Amino acid sequence: MAKRVGVDKWLFGTVLTLVLFGLVMVFSASAVIAKATQGSPYAFVIKQAAFVAAGLVALFVMMKIDYRKYNNPKVIFPLMAITALLLLVVFGMGAMNGAHRWIRFGGFTLQPSELAKPVIVLFLAWFLQTRIHQIDNIKETILPAALPPLVFIALILKEPDLGTAMVCALVLMAMLYLAGMQMKWIGVAILAASPVMYFMLFRVAWRRARLLAFLNPEADPKGVGYHTLQSLIAVGTGGLHGKGLMEGVQKLFFLPEPHTDFIFAVICEELGLIGGLLVIAAFCVLGFRGMRAAYKSTDPFARFVAFGMTTTILVQAFFNISVVLSIVPNKGLPLPFISSGGTSVAIMLACMGVLLNVTREID
């Protein structure tokens, strides 16, 4: 097959649009809070723009590197080791908001769990490509494939960060299923994970309170139900067309984390149902083009990489939007490419560079 001259322009354009739109919305959502807490309305957006710039450089670099270079244990194992080390280093850092999720240096922070997601995808793509025909072999395939990601997931749970751990777990199951693993093994995995989920959700007081607030936020509107109710107020008052960019009210110290976890609520309030649906449509386009690359790739490694990278973004976007709309309990996950969060946007743009390189090989 002749090598394609350029990358998937629809995918590239969608990612670029989401990132630029994200910068606009981060400024809109954070300007007042930044002025009050940082002394400048541009504090958060400037920091985000710096990471976006770094991420775009990474995207263009990764876009030029042949994805086959990652299909090498000399690349995969060092990446796994570095990620594991960083996930351990966070526990030596002081807690922020009661969690050990960040490595701080200078004025910046690094969140290793964001790196864990693409590293899991690359590891599984490398490991599974030659084991498709023996995928249901527990000792030779399923356990060796699942154990390294499960170590990452356990460390992420310990931080604690249940949302990111769930994203990693879902990507793990999706990639094993793509490789041909029978559904019965997914059922076994769910049963095995049930005691852990029970403990994490019902035996940890603040998570139990969050779950109860999701089921009935009106029971404690000024306490544990506050996040959910303020988010729904923002979405509901936006109407069809919204109040206009920069005109939202809920971001003015009512909606918690308006520029990070709940930025989609700000979008819906200021740009209305139409704006929210356009954002969802953009993720649908990204998902379609990413899955198209996976479907059309003849190289098993490329297929797994494209599928894994795309699934990671779609799962995270689904959780973030679902939290805002009170479809699922609060997970604390950023909206890909849009929410404020330097590590997230930079690493996801680098991942898109890898995916765009894969698209050079398909018609």
- CB-count exposure of residue 136 (10 Å: 0-12, 13-18, 19+): middle
- CB-count exposure of residue 184 (10 Å: 0-12, 13-18, 19+): exposed
Beta-carbon neighbour count of residue 9 at 10 Å? Answer: 11
What is the distance between the alpha carbons of residues 245 and 254, in angstroms, rounded to a whole number?
A: 17
Q: At what angle do helices 73-89 and 143-158 cross, to 10 degrees?
A: 20
What is the distance between the alpha carbons of residues 56 and 320, in angstroms, rounded to a whole number?
A: 23
Mean pLDDT in consecutive groups of 10 residues from the start of the chain, 363 residues? 72 97 96 92 94 97 96 96 95 80 80 95 96 89 95 94 94 95 90 89 82 83 85 94 94 88 96 97 98 95 97 96 91 91 94 96 79
What is the distance between the alpha carbons of residues 28 and 337, in angstroms, rounded to a whole number?
A: 15
Domains of the chain, by residue range, sit at: 9-359
Alpha carbon 144 to chain centroid, angstroms: 25
What is the distance between the alpha carbons of residues 89 and 109, in angstroms, rounded to a whole number?
A: 13
What pLDDT shows up at residue 2? 45
Backbone angles phi, psi at 326, to 5 degrees: 60, 40
Distances (CA, A) of 138 to 123, 146, 182: 18, 10, 11
Which pTM was predicted? Answer: 0.94
What pLDDT shows up at residue 11? 97
What pLDDT shows up at residue 5? 59
Q: Is the link from the previous residue into 160 a cis peptide, with omega within 30 of 0?
A: yes
Beta-carbon neighbour count of residue 190 at 10 Å? Answer: 12
